[in-house]
Amino acid sequence: MFGRRSTTEALVVGAGPVGLFAALQLARQGVEVEIIDSQWRTAARSYALALHPQTLQLFDDLALTEPLLEHGRKVESVGFYDRKGREAAVDLRHLSDAYRYALVLPQSQLEAKLEEQLEAAGVKVKWNHRLAGLELNGGFVEATIQRLGKDSTGYSVSSTEWVVEKTLTTEANFVFGADGCNSAVRRLAGISFEDLGNSQQFAVFECGTDRDAGSEVRVVLEEQETSVYWPLSGDRFRWSFGLSGVDTPDERVKHRLAVQIGEQTLPYLSPENLTELLAERAPWFEAPVGEIFWSVGVQFDQRLATEFGCGRVSLLGDAAHMAGPVGVQSMNVGFAEAMELASLVTALIKRDAPKDSIDSYDRERASGWRRLLGLDSSPVADESASDWIRHRADRIPACIPASGEMLGQALEGLGLKLG
């Protein structure tokens, strides 16, 4: 069934953290905005989990940081380890005068706060709305949107599936694609997503403990594998162990199931395997492991969009770039992208700014990501870098919860500089 035709100044596709933040920025700058997502709600668990110091500064502009602090844990340092122990560290307190730490925060709580603020600004997320088509029509973009609903079927065994209830059309001056690694916006705009290789599989465990989880992120860099420990709020912590030679689902499936995802059994998510991984990777780790609250097997691909935009359509966050999960850089840089792009679009709509400003944004962001991912050059070590750091220099930038100038400062403290 075909429904109404509507207009808006900006359409945001994807109501994850970056999409919600982009919509909030636009709304608070007086731009008429609509935001849709094919899912039925925000995230239920803490997947992407750390806000960089510069992200906390960005959030300050929207009065978001203070409400989040009570739900998170402050992380003041990043320690670099191998199985023998600590080899180096980055002190996050030296990177920013405003926020001298990263904030570990469940994605579910972050999204809930962003959605709350967005509703206070007069914008409600249209859940169960899927983008089905994009067409550039000169001064606007015509978006075809499918509203989804549940349809119960079966007699003796009842089942429920999502069906298209109505097809809608929205004319938008600009479209923001913040709809993740499988972005419909990117696909419909005809933008390629370059596979850079270096796929990483991880087994992730979120556990309880009767010890204080501390204020240090611990990154374990063995010859082939990367693992990371994150202290969480309360009496919880998370370990993510890089794995070789295992198969994980093609898509990021996020369930509580400990040993099975969908129809696939993943034996490396068992409690016994957690014990073995800790003994192998981090024998120095002394905190007792209590209940395993949830675990997941996930694959991270390193990808980069060949373009960050096409005319009136732009990409943000995971829709434009995918990096390793350790430094949580894709999401955090996505916030900076959202703020910059929202300001550019506001200027175009409200003040008739030059049309090529978005083209410049696309070029600069693509170039910045190539540098961050080390595609054009490798980090350079100076005489102060230890042999341990020199041997792992290519892997270290992606492990630090910082970007831009702050990432540069953090690397300098280790004797490294991005090429």
CA 149 to chain centre: 27
Structural domains of the chain in order of their starting residue, each with its CATH number: 2-49+110-195+303-371 (3.50.50.60), 200-300 (3.30.70.2450)
Q: Is 46 exposed, middle or buried (0-12, 13-18, 19+ CB in 10 A)?
A: buried
CA distance 176 to 10: 7
DSSP run (H or E) holding 21: helix 17-28
Q: What is the DSSP letter of 207?
A: E
Rounded to the nearest 10°, the torsion over CA 387, 225, 51, 216 is -60
CA nearest to 188, candidates 131, 137, 139: 131
- What is the gyration radius of the CA atoms in the chain, in angstroms? 22
Cβ atoms of 266 and 284 within 8 Å: the answer is: no
**pLDDT in tens for each of the 419 residues of the chain?**
556 789 999 999 999 999 999 999 999 999 999 999 998 876 655 566 899 999 999 999 888 999 899 889 999 999 999 999 999 999 999 998 889 999 999 888 899 999 999 999 999 999 999 999 999 887 899 999 999 997 756 555 555 677 999 999 999 999 999 999 999 999 999 999 999 877 888 999 999 999 889 999 999 999 889 999 999 977 899 999 998 766 544 443 333 333 333 344 455 678 888 999 999 999 999 999 999 988 888 888 889 999 998 889 999 999 999 988 899 999 999 999 999 999 999 999 987 767 777 878 888 888 888 888 878 788 999 999 999 999 999 999 999 999 888 999 999 999 999 87
**CA–CA gap between residue 416 and residue 414 (Å, rounded):** 6
Contacts of 63 (CB under 8 A, 6+ apart): none
Q: Is the pTM of this model over 0.75?
A: yes
Q: What's the full length of the chain, in residues?
A: 419
Residue 207: Cβ-neighbour burial (10 angstroms; 0-12, 13-18, 19+)? buried
